[in-house]
Structure 1
């Protein structure tokens, strides 16, 4: 087996393994030179509580990558289970400004768009980045958070949208 075949096999196995990693679905938004951008993402995670920060991983071929690469601040909008239409719109069904026709959008004082009825919207000042493979990892220092009243995440696993179900009381953690 050649090194290329081994890398290809490893890539395919990794993709299959990642299908088993359930992740909450978010829509990442930003504004740059008066243009709003949005994309669905599951490659989002907390980074540190001190300072409060998170990270997002963005493919360099994504339309939101250039404004983020130029330093645009961003928002991570954590979607609720009833917001699959927004996830699909921002995953490519709609393009550009059309993506903001799905959902109810507001903007903070700096113009960063956020989803008014998301489970949570976390607005970040960009605080670092690095490139790796096909992606850039952007670090956001949290500046503002809007939290909804319910916890009912939209989840992506094995190529489909779903939601989490609570465990029976005897299996649930306190």
Structure 2
């Protein structure tokens, strides 16, 4: 199953949150849109992740959609750095909702929690989107087959 999932290209995000005066972040690809009414998304978090305790306590979170130039931040937030040190690279700010967000990410979606369920080793958190910030052109950082990459040339569209 893991080898098959490596073939699923995914946009790279950093999920960030704050709780009890501390900031948390982690790189993630298990993120997806859920609904436009209400505007919502879902994130899947391993219960051993450092981000899990604040989310378990109900903290709001932000999904920061990374661009190709953010590969270093993706690596930092996937384990190279720990804790607050993950916020030493990148242009981090705090939203009016008290959530850290990466100011120059392609998109930052600030969410409050609106549901959850547990499955296996993970918890799926539903986030109701409260604020959307966008920056720059569409230039996603993609994770495919265990490596960071960027999309190839667009595929020609078939005539209708």
- TM-score calculated relative to the size of structure 1: 0.89
Instruction: Tell me the distance in 1 between the aligned counterparts of 2:9 and 2:151.
Output: 9
Instruction: Tell me the distance in 1 between the aligned counterparts of 2:152 and 2:39.
Output: 28
Instruction: Tell me the distance in 2 between the aligned counterparts of 1:115 and 1:20.
Output: 28
Consecutive aligned runs of 4 or more in structure 1 exceeding 4 Å deviation:
none
Equivalent position of 1:48 in the other structure? 35
SS in 2 for 1:53: strand
Quick check: 1:58 aligned with 2:18?
Answer: no
**How many angstroms does 1:133 deviate by?**
0.1
Instruction: Tell me the distance in 1 between the aligned counterparts of 2:29 and 2:91.
Output: 21
Quick check: 1:102 aligned with 2:105?
Answer: no
Larger gyration radius, structure 1 or structure 2: 1
Matches within 5 A, 1:66-105: 66-105=53-92
Deviation string 1:142-164 (CA, Å, 9 cap, x unpaired) is 00000112000000000000001
Quick check: 1:32 aligned with 2:11?
Answer: no
Unaligned runs of 5+ in 1: 1-13
Q: 1:141 aligns with which of 114, 120, 128?
A: 128
Q: 1:113 aligns with which of 91, 95, 100?
A: 100
Aligned CA-pair RMSD: 1.1
Deviation string 1:61-100 (CA, Å, 9 cap, x unpaired) is 0000011011010000000011000000000000000000
Equivalent position of 1:125 in the other structure? 112
More helix by proportion, 1 or 2?
1
Equivalent position of 1:9 in the other structure? none
Instruction: Tell me the distance in 2 between the aligned counterparts of 1:116 and 1:73.
Output: 17
Instruction: Tell me the distance in 1 between the aligned counterparts of 2:137 and 2:73.
Output: 18
**How many angstroms does 1:134 deviate by?**
0.4
**How many angstroms does 1:167 deviate by?**
2.0
* Paired residues, number: 159
**How many angstroms does 1:173 deviate by?**
6.5
